[in-house]
Chains A and B, each alone.
Chain A
Amino acid sequence: MKRLKKTATNPFYTVMHPFDASYDIRFKGKGNATVSIVILAALFLTMIFQRQSTGYIFNYNKLSDLNVFLQFATAILPFLLFVIANWIVAMLMNGTGRMRDIWIYTAYCLVPFILGNILAVLLSNVLVMEEPFASYAQVFGAGWSLVILFIGLMVMHEYNFVGNVFSCACTVFVMFILLFAIMLVGSLASDFYGFLATIVREFLLRVS
């Protein structure tokens, strides 16, 4: 327990010491993939918790319309996109981070975001409309996540500040390109499936 506390394996250490943690994950192999999966699962559950349990005053969702798969996609897809896009950009811009490191570190960075959201949900159940503190908690958590993510990527890829800003901008751009590609492939696949289905149906009609 004590050993866990002081190393980069502990995501809470990352939250407080992004420089050290990022260095340890990249160059000392301290990151733990299992922990990152647990954090992603927590993210998914938090999204559902937020959708279903935010206090009625702040919750404009139709609770009976919960779609777990959609929630899963909205939680995990941006994460996957970011990791892949950042990895691609790192390859092009001589970043030293590996896919595994980026994955683990990004997952660790989600911890403040998750905690902020949980706090916001809890607060929203005791606050009234005129008290917007729940969203403050959310913004604070998300902001913290972004800051440590930025710092960690800078250390991991051995960029300077400006280089990292440029890299992040490129990452967002690549994310959109990836999204576009996914949609393109998706629609192509569905068209192709339709085409095949038509052929098979036609064939069966002729045969019988």
Chain B
Amino acid sequence: MKRNLIRGLCACAGLLLSLGMSLKVSAQSNFNSYTYDEWDESVAAPASYEPVVALNGQQIGAGDFKVPQDFFMDGQGTLYLADTGNNRLVLLDPDLEFLGTIETVLLDGEEIPLEDIEGLYVSEDGVIYAAQTSHNRVLVIQDGTVIETIEKPVSNLISEDFVFSPTKVGVDMYGRVYVLSKGCYSGLLQFDLDGSFMGFFGANKVEVTADVVFNYMWKSILSDEQRAAMTSILPIEYSNVDCSKDGFVYTSTVGTQLPKSQIKKLNPQGNNIYFAVGNEEINFGDGEFQYVRGSANYPSFIDVKVNADDFIFGVDLTSGRIFERDQEGNLVAVFGGMGSQLGTFTTPVAVEVYGNRVYVLDRLKNNITIFEPTEYGALVEEAIRLYSEGLYTQSGEAWAKVVQKNGNSMLAYNGLGKVYAQEEEYTDALQYLRHSGDRYSYSRSFGKNRLVIVRKFGPAAIIALIVLVVVLNVVHRVKKRRAKK
């Protein structure tokens, strides 16, 4: 008995030792990197993005940040940080070197402090749009002077008791302003160039969950007074907005019950056009749910950003992960996580991109983390970009390199398959598309391949059939004649 115990202890110690050693060797990032297979089960993948550095206000030299809510990187590489708790904007360069602060602005000739800025956007020509939530207005600032304020619009679309408390703001390529107001379920408020209200833009739809169906059933039975006493069903409001260079508006939604369409790409009519092949809604977050005490932890996207190559970055507040997807909803990269180490977050609130770098702002850690793509991550993005530009052969070469680094990459197999399909080498295409689980593309290649086979062997087969029929016929007749004799 005792000997067994000692042996067990030794084994445990050995195991711990070997675990510790292996951890030392393999722990290069502080978070898991993975991708998904055909059945939405996560499989291991090389890291796509690695954290470079995480700096707080003290380290930057701007003094401690206090609950920063948002930041924005303009085209020239100046990072504007809304240091909400300190009532100021902090300006940084792409390496997070301190450039300066903006603490007051001129409004109608008098200096006002920049209180409670929860969201900001900077246009191409350096005009700052700052959402001042508790003051119910958006300040449009140029060279330290407020040139315009956007306040609660007067319109018959907006009721008297509507409270205009803007949290996030976006400006599209035409200069139209999209404002997200707290507690507004009708979508974004869209303002024209001259600041006049154009209407609501792209509201979320009510999610059809079991609760909603049940409520609907009750409401059809109850009287009007009873109905009024019930809670009304409202769509979930947006959490953030970003405008891409080509005129589309991207929105993110927190707290969705159904894991789909958390990130939307709105066209000028305000309709979502971000769908996967076959018009399927895209689940932007994890395919597997983590269950905490029996209830599923659904992804909750708090910010969205589109980079110059049209890759979409979304920050999930629940898992602390940043998801990168392409325009077809394919998962390009996952990085980050919950924790206190480099590259992990407690409450990520905003994401920005500049060049190939990704910046993430953490509200409670009061710091900014910079991520840079690894060789593998850069390769994947390169391959997708080449394919979307129509350079199929080059993208095929890139995908071949990706497969060498990650045999689990469905995306790479899909890319290779599509490239082979483009080059009309259907046998190879079918093999790779099958690995990628893309039945739609597989079916198309299969159909074309079938046609090739039929064209190749069809005439010969028909001739053989005719010959066979004639021969059989002749044999039959000869037999008959012999039988008669």
Contact = CB atoms under 8 A, between A and B. Distances in A.
B450 A129 contact: no
B39 A56 contact: no
B439 A56 contact: yes
B39 A57 contact: no
Interface stretch (B227-235, B441-449, B462-470): B441-449
Nearest to B39: A62
User: Which bracket fits the contact residues of A?
Assistant: under 10
Given A57-B442, A62-B39, A128 B447 contact: yes
Interface in A123-182: 126, 128-130
A126 B434 CA distance: 15
Contacts of B442: 56-57
Interface string A28-69: 000000000000000000000000000011000010000000
Contacts of B38: 62
B440 interface: yes
Contacts of B450: 126, 128
Given A57-B446, A62-B39, A129 B434 contact: no
Nearest to B447: A128
A130 B442 CA distance: 12
Nearest to B433: A56
Contact of B439 (A62, A126, A129, A130): A129
A56 B438 CA distance: 10
Nearest to A129: B443
A54 to B, nearest CB: 12
A56 B446 CA distance: 10
B446 A128 contact: yes
Interface string B426-444: 0000000010000110111
B414 to A, nearest CB: 14
Contacts of A56: 434, 439, 442
Contacts of B440: 129
Nearest to A61: B39
A128 B444 contact: yes
B378 to A, nearest CB: 32
19 contacts: A56-B434, A56-B439, A56-B442, A57-B439, A57-B442, A57-B443, A57-B446, A62-B38, A62-B39, A126-B450, A128-B443, A128-B444, A128-B446, A128-B447, A128-B450, A129-B439, A129-B440, A129-B443, A130-B443
Contacts of A62: 38-39
Contacts of A57: 439, 442-443, 446
B41 to A, nearest CB: 9
Interface string B154-187: 0000000000000000000000000000000000
A64 B447 CA distance: 26
Q: What is the interface of chain B mostly: helix, strand, loop, or mixed?
A: helix
B277 to A, nearest CB: 12
Contacts of B434: 56
Interface of A: 56-57, 62, 126, 128-130
Nearest to A60: B439
A130 B450 CA distance: 14
A102 B440 CA distance: 45
A19 B447 CA distance: 44
B448 to A, nearest CB: 9
B220 to A, nearest CB: 30
Given A56-B439, A128-B446, 17 more contacts: A56-B434, A56-B442, A57-B439, A57-B442, A57-B443, A57-B446, A62-B38, A62-B39, A126-B450, A128-B443, A128-B444, A128-B447, A128-B450, A129-B439, A129-B440, A129-B443, A130-B443
A94 B447 CA distance: 56
B149 to A, nearest CB: 55
Contacts of A128: 443-444, 446-447, 450
A57 B442 CA distance: 7
Interface string B16-39: 000000000000000000000011
B453 to A, nearest CB: 10
A126 B449 CA distance: 10
A110 to B, nearest CB: 30
B137 to A, nearest CB: 53
A129 B39 CA distance: 19
A121 B434 CA distance: 18
Contacts of B446: 57, 128
A56 B439 CA distance: 8
Contacts of B443: 57, 128-130
Interface string B33-76: 00000110000000000000000000000000000000000000
Contacts of A129: 439-440, 443
A133 B468 CA distance: 29
A57 B447 CA distance: 11
B301 to A, nearest CB: 28
A62 B40 CA distance: 12
Nearest to B41: A62
A130 B446 CA distance: 12
Contacts of B444: 128
A128 B434 CA distance: 14
A204 B439 CA distance: 57
Interface in B297-321: none
Contacts of A126: 450
B34 to A, nearest CB: 18
Nearest to A58: B439
Sorted nearest first, the 7 A-B pairs with minimum C-beta distance are A129-B443, A128-B447, A128-B443, A57-B443, A128-B446, A57-B439, A62-B39
A57 B444 CA distance: 10
A126 B443 CA distance: 10
A108 B440 CA distance: 39
Interface string B444-460: 10110010000000000
B292 to A, nearest CB: 27
Nearest to B38: A62
A57 B438 CA distance: 9
Nearest to A55: B446
A125 to B, nearest CB: 10
A130 B440 CA distance: 10
Contacts of B439: 56-57, 129
The listed residue with most B CB atoms (<10 A of its CB), out of A57, A62, A126, is: A57
The listed residue with most B CB atoms (<10 A of its CB), out of A56, A62, A126, is: A56
Nearest to B445: A128
